[in-house]
Every structure is written in C-alpha cells, then in structure tokens.
Amino acid sequence: MTSAGGRPGGTAPRSVDVARLAGVSQKTVSRVLNGERYVSDDVRRRVLDAAGELGYRLNSAARALASGRTRSIGVVTLGTALYGPASLLIGVERAARDAGYALRVVNTLEGDPGGVVGAVESLLEQGVDGIVVSEPIDEGAVSLSVDVPVLVLGAPVTFGGTRTVATGVGAELLARTATEHLLDLGHATVHHLAGPERWFAARDRTEGWRSALTARGRERPAVLAGDWSAASGYEAGRTLAADGDVTAVFAANDDMAIGVIRALTEAGRRVPDDVSVVGFDDIPVAAYVTPPLTTVRQPFDAVAREGLRLLVRAIEKPDAEPAPANDPPVELVVRASTAPPPTR
Amino acid sequence: MTSAGGRPGGTAPRSVDVARLAGVSQKTVSRVLNGERYVSDDVRRRVLDAAGELGYRLNSAARALASGRTRSIGVVTLGTALYGPASLLIGVERAARDAGYALRVVNTLEGDPGGVVGAVESLLEQGVDGIVVSEPIDEGAVSLSVDVPVLVLGAPVTFGGTRTVATGVGAELLARTATEHLLDLGHATVHHLAGPERWFAARDRTEGWRSALTARGRERPAVLAGDWSAASGYEAGRTLAADGDVTAVFAANDDMAIGVIRALTEAGRRVPDDVSVVGFDDIPVAAYVTPPLTTVRQPFDAVAREGLRLLVRAIEKPDAEPAPANDPPVELVVRASTAPPPTR
DNA sequence: ATGAAAGCGCTAACAC
DNA sequence: GTGTTAGCGCTTTCAT
C-alpha cells in the first residue's frame, strides 16, 4: 500500500517538502534518511512522520549525482536459462540487496562479438559502483580497464584492471572428485563429455578430469565436445554407445549427462550396469530421472555470497588488501547412475 | 577496450570537456549524443571524435535528474532458478535492451511477506520508467497504486493502478489442450498435480484442466498439490501409484512430471503403458528423460517480448489506447510418456 | 543550426 | 545537533 503522495501540482514530493512539513531544514531530512548520527530522536520522528504522510521517496538519481555513487552493482550474465548461471544470479541479487545495493543486469548472448565488453561499457555508463561478470566465456582476450571493482564468478582472474576479485574457481576440484569416484569404482578409465571450450567453466572441469586421470597414470580418451544441452549429450552418447570399451562417462553438466544416458539406453547399454555416468551441478531433477543421477553439487549460493562480500569490500574499502576467497566445499552426490564396471 | 579518459585530475570527462575539445557548446554535445536533429554533419563528427578521444561516457544519473526519466525498467521476479521464470527474465532483458532500456532487478523470496510491495517500492525509488512483475504470486490483495506503467507477466491484471498491461495469460488454454490430449487417447479422466495455489500460474493450469474435464462431463478427481519441484512430484506420484484407477496424470510443470514418473516406475507401474503423464513447460531435458516427456510448450520469449512491447508503448505514449496483447500460440509436444489407457 | 542560462533534487563541506 | 551554501553533469527553455 502506498499513499498517493498528494502534493499539490501532482509532482512527487521532494525533501524540502518534507522539511517544511516537519519544520526543519532540508539537510536535516537528508541526515535522517541516511541514518546519520547527531539527530535528536524527536526530530528524527518528526521527519519520518512527515515523509510518511507525504509518501516521500528519495530520488536516487539526484543522490547519485550529488554523491558520485549509485549504490548499485551491475551484473553481466549469459542469456541462458541454464541452472548454474540462473542460480548464481539469484545468489548475487540476494547478497547485493542484503548489502544495500540495487542490481542492474545486462545479458550477453553467446556468440555476440564484443558481448562482454559492450555489456560492461553499458553498465559503466549507468554508473554502477561495481561489476559482476558471471560465468564468462572468452572471446579473445578481454582487456578492458575499468575504474570500478570487478568480481569474476566462476573463472580465474583474467580481466585487466587493477581491482578484480574472483571466486568459484573450485570446479576443477569438483571435477577431479567426480572422476576419482569412477576410478575408485574400478573403471579402467573415464570418458569425458565437455562443455563448450570457450567457457572457463568447461575448461575447468576438463582440467579436473584430466588431472585425476594423470595422477593415476590412466589412459586419457579423446574429449567429446557438447554445448551443455541434453541434445548435445544425446549426440555424444550415441558415439559413446558405439564404443564397446566405454564403461564410465563424466559429463560436464547434468543436462548432458541425461542426454548421454538416454542415448546409451536406446542403444541397449544399461546404466549403470554396463556404463556409469556422472553429471555436474545437481540440478533439482537429477535425483528423479531414471536412473537417479550421480553428480557433483556446486554451492552456487555460497559462491555468489562470498564473491559479493569481496566485491562490496573492494567498493567500500578500496585500500584494504584484497581478501582471499574462501573456497566452497566439495560435495559429491552418489546416486544410482554409477556402479562398478561390468565383469567380463 | 576503453581509453583511460585522460583528463587532468583523474576525474571522468564531462560533456563540457568534449565541447571544449570539439570547439562547440556543451548543449551541442548533448544534441549529438541524443541523436537530435539540426546538427551539421561536420559538427556531429567533431563531437563524436572528441568524445572518443576523451573516452567520454554519458552520466546517466545527471541525465535522469535533468530529464526525469531513467530509461530503465524494473523487474520483480521470484528468486527461483525455475526454468519458466528464468526464461522470462532473459526475454525481458533482451527486449528491454532492444528498446533502449536498462534493467533493474529485484527478487522476492517466496513467503516473504510484503515481498512484491517492497520490491516495487524499491524500484520506484530507483526511478524506473516502468515495472515488470513476473509470475506473481498473491500474498493478499496487492493494491499498490503506482505512477508508472506496470506489466504483469503470466497473470491476469489484478494490480491496482491505472496503467497496467498483461500478457501470457494463455496458460489456461495450454493446460486444457494437455488434458484433452489425454482424454482423446481414451482415458476416462485425468488426475492433476497442481503447483502452489498462491501462484497465478498454478491456478491457471488447474483451471484449464478443470474446464477440459467439465466440457466432456468427466469425473473430476481431487487435485494434488505440489510445489513445482521434482521432489513434490515424487511424493504425489506415490499417492497416485497407490490408486489403481489412475491412468492419466497432468502435472503443472515438467519437474513435477519427472518426479511423478519416478514414483510410478518405482511402484512398478509402467509409463506410458499403465499410466500416462504429461508435463508443462518443455524444459530442455524433457525430450531426453525416460520416457521422453509429452508436454506443452510455453513460448516464454514471445510472451516476454510482446509484454515488453506493450510496456514500452505505455511508457512512451501514455495516452495511446492500451493495445491488446496478441496471445502466443499453443503447442503440445507429444512424446513417449502418453499412450492409450491399458485395456483390461 | 547553435548557444546561454536556469534548474532537476540531492549530498558535501563548513559554519553556527 | 542543526542550518547554509555550493555544486554534481546533464536537459530544458528560450534566444539568436
């Protein structure tokens, strides 16, 4: 419920109007509304009452112009409804709001040349106090020097610019854990279905898979390339099904894993009896597909919150040391899509 | 790539700086940058060059303060990574950007009392030119009178306020189509697993189901209630499996349908041989689960674009008639989770 | 086709 | 504790 704010003339009330009604100066209104100290309780109450009565709302454009800060954070995100990016966005929004920042969002479409640069440019024009780049893909070396702090979510720091922080680089470890799970089950080696190579997130996972195999001196099969979609998983699955030696597959996300399982099943190869499959993300349906999917859980919310904490710190205490990121916990969720290899 | 904007003093260049460099007045710079007419090509070029050289960027706070418009649209969205809401957000962002508007996003957590009202309030404070409320849930009658146009996505207009438009109310028809598909297959009736009753989207679908049954004079079984999650679908599925008369189920979204299928399968009831299941949304994995899911596709992108078109129109031509929404097309995707009922 | 002057509604710096 | 005075960087209105 919002009172209509009935100032004569139909325009929105300004802080002078509140001041007049409360019988104080305009600056005092500003003080109260910004929670500054040195205001008597009596005055504070009168101001608040007057503001309420008028239906007064701060004008953030004026505030931004005068203070040089917008109290807003810009987010550059891929325009996909994928579970990971969507979850990160939610986490970021919530953490930003808790910290008192509004969110401005710009999507970059995959394949859009200059996408990230253009997006950042537009956020800068909007005057954001900080920028979050979520799940970046690379499109050539992005070197934009930006005068606000930047948080890169899900990738190592590669952006130029002095004030950059990063979190969520733990995916490599998660991927390694997934691969080791399969190896521990007795599989001789593990095939890998990767995401698009331009995504850092995809390369991270491939790296984790590779290092697990290398550490145990296992043969490293050629990597299959998908595009995160179940459809691409299905395609890859058909290839995999044709190769009788395949007993274990690590897919870089759950959607692709589901596609792989479908293709395997159609080809008459049972999961997990003949072939084990593990996914990545733990999307909400993962526990309910057939067979329930063994996967690795990404703590999206924790990653987003932690990242935003660092970003806000960088915004508000520009001189403080860049605090190190606390890497989030690893969690492997074992369900029914993995088992020991068939004995023959 | 962004030039550092080397004005002496380290502050960002302003339009006067550009004017000075180009040898014109500050107002002329403003004219060029806003694409106004009556600027000679020569002057335009000089201004643009000077701006480029300085790395000049418009200050949107100043512009907003002076013009009274922010060229931004606020979005109120539920804080979920569900496919539907996420897809809508992407469509809205893209359409807004194409129309020259920036996006400000606020999430409301489910169950947060006063969520929508608070979110709208905060957007108003940010000075948005229009507001999009995506997939609203009701939390008591929300009657906030707002002085900017509001677009409600996925719900009939119920917000107070004079300038409200709506789109995406076609879900009822889609749900009806899904139910009729089952009836056409020969099922005596169709059981329904609904979403949370507080969501308009859930009620719409239930309504469509109900009307299909009523139109054919069929018995209407009690509605089961889920929360959109596969887990809740699984719960409901167990109940359904215990009832030998159930041969057809319409779940209000794909995630729940997947949960239902899982429970049915575990209970030894085959899908689609014993029981048919249809979902709603056509999430990307729907074609690859076992069995591939028959579902109904929501044209999220079209709904979002159409809605935004109406909203922008309402913003820019306040006096024009509220153009009617073009309802998007119905699309039933028949896959393998539905079949005629078992003969006995 | 271009320019000069006057604010938009707030916060910053300083005075009292 | 509270008030005064200047801007913040643009767009608007009106001249020219």
Which tokens belong to B53?
């050289």
Which nucleotide's C1' atom has the smallest distance to the CA of A14? C9
Model pLDDT, residue A169: 59
- Asked whether the predicted pLDDT for residue A295 surpasses 80, the reply is yes
Mean of pLDDT values over B134-156: 76
Name the pLDDT band for B12 (thresholds 50, 70, 90): confident
CB A73 within 8 A of CB A270: no
| C1’ D9 / CA A114, Å | 29
Name the pLDDT band for B139 (thresholds 50, 70, 90): low
Mean of pLDDT values over A58-72: 93
Model pLDDT, residue B308: 93
Distance separating alpha carbons of residues A46 and A24, to the nearest angstrom: 9
CB A62 within 8 A of CB A26: no
Is B287 close to A143, i.e. CB distance below 8 A?
no
C-alpha dist (Å) from residue B265 to A3, A343, B234, B241, B248: 55, 27, 10, 9, 14
Distance separating alpha carbons of residues A139 and B196, to the nearest angstrom: 42
B289 interfacial to chain A (CB closer than 8 Å): yes
| Closest CA of chain A from B216, distance in Å | 33
A270 interfacial to chain B (CB closer than 8 Å): no
- Asked whether the predicted pLDDT for residue A16 surpasses 60, the reply is yes
Model pLDDT, residue B6: 44
Is B259 close to A126, i.e. CB distance below 8 A?
no
Greatest mean pLDDT among A241-255, B3-17, B159-173: A241-255
- Asked whether the predicted pLDDT for residue A279 surpasses 50, the reply is yes
Mean of pLDDT values over B72-99: 92
Mean of pLDDT values over B220-247: 97
The residue lying closest to nucleotide C2, measuring its CA against C1', is B28
User: Buried b / exposed e across B271-282, counting CB within 10 Å, b at 16+?
Assistant: bbebbbbbbbbb
User: Percent of chain B scored above 70 by pLDDT?
Assistant: 89
Sign of the alpha-carbon torsion through A315, A316, A317, A321:
negative
Mean of pLDDT values over B41-53: 91
Q: Which of A22-31, A89-98, B77-86, B316-325 has the lowest mean pLDDT?
A: B316-325
- Asked whether the predicted pLDDT for residue B337 surpasses 70, the reply is yes
Name the pLDDT band for A195 (thresholds 50, 70, 90): very high
CB B90 within 8 A of CB A80: yes
Helix (H, G, I), strand (E, B) or coil at A154: coil
Name the pLDDT band for A117 (thresholds 50, 70, 90): confident
Question: Which residue in chain B has the smallest CA separation from A86?
Answer: B81
Q: B255-313, pLDDT tens digit by residue?
A: 999 999 999 999 999 999 999 999 999 999 999 999 999 999 988 888 899 999 999 99
Model pLDDT, residue A317: 87
B141 interfacial to chain A (CB closer than 8 Å): no
A34 touches strand C (CB under 7 A): yes
Model pLDDT, residue B157: 65
Beta strands B102-108 and A102-108: pairing type?
antiparallel
B173 touches strand C (CB under 7 A): no
Q: Which of A299-303, B107-111, B235-239 has the lowest mean pLDDT?
A: B107-111
Sign of the alpha-carbon torsion through B194, B199, B205, B208:
positive
Greatest mean pLDDT among A112-126, A316-330, B206-220: B206-220
C-alpha dist (Å) from residue B280 to A14, A50, A221, B84: 48, 50, 39, 10
Model pLDDT, residue A2: 38
A97 interfacial to chain B (CB closer than 8 Å): yes
Is B144 close to A1, i.e. CB distance below 8 A?
yes
Distance separating alpha carbons of residues B238 and B241, to the nearest angstrom: 5
Distance separating alpha carbons of residues A318 and A85, to the nearest angstrom: 28
Q: B187-227, pLDDT tens digit by residue?
A: 999 999 999 998 888 999 999 999 999 999 999 999 999 99
Q: B304-322, pLDDT tens digit by residue?
A: 999 999 999 999 988 777 7
Model pLDDT, residue A217: 96
The per-residue pLDDT of chain B, averaged, comes to: 89
Model pLDDT, residue A342: 95
CB B241 within 8 A of CB B181: no
Instruction: Indicate the DSSP class of residue B223.
Output: P
- Asked whether the predicted pLDDT for residue B2 surpasses 60, the reply is no
Which tokens belong to A218?
């296992």
Mean of pLDDT values over A258-262: 98
Model pLDDT, residue A160: 59
Is A61 close to B70, i.e. CB distance below 8 A?
yes
The per-residue pLDDT of chain A, averaged, comes to: 89
pTM: 0.91
A7 touches strand C (CB under 7 A): no
Mean of pLDDT values over A227-247: 97
Instruction: Indicate the DSSP class of residue B137.
Output: B
Q: Which of A70, A143, A255 sits opposite B1 (nearest CB)?
A: A143
- Asked whether the predicted pLDDT for residue A102 surpasses 80, the reply is yes
- Asked whether the predicted pLDDT for residue A185 surpasses 80, the reply is yes
| Closest CA of chain B from A216, distance in Å | 33
- Asked whether the predicted pLDDT for residue B4 surpasses 60, the reply is no
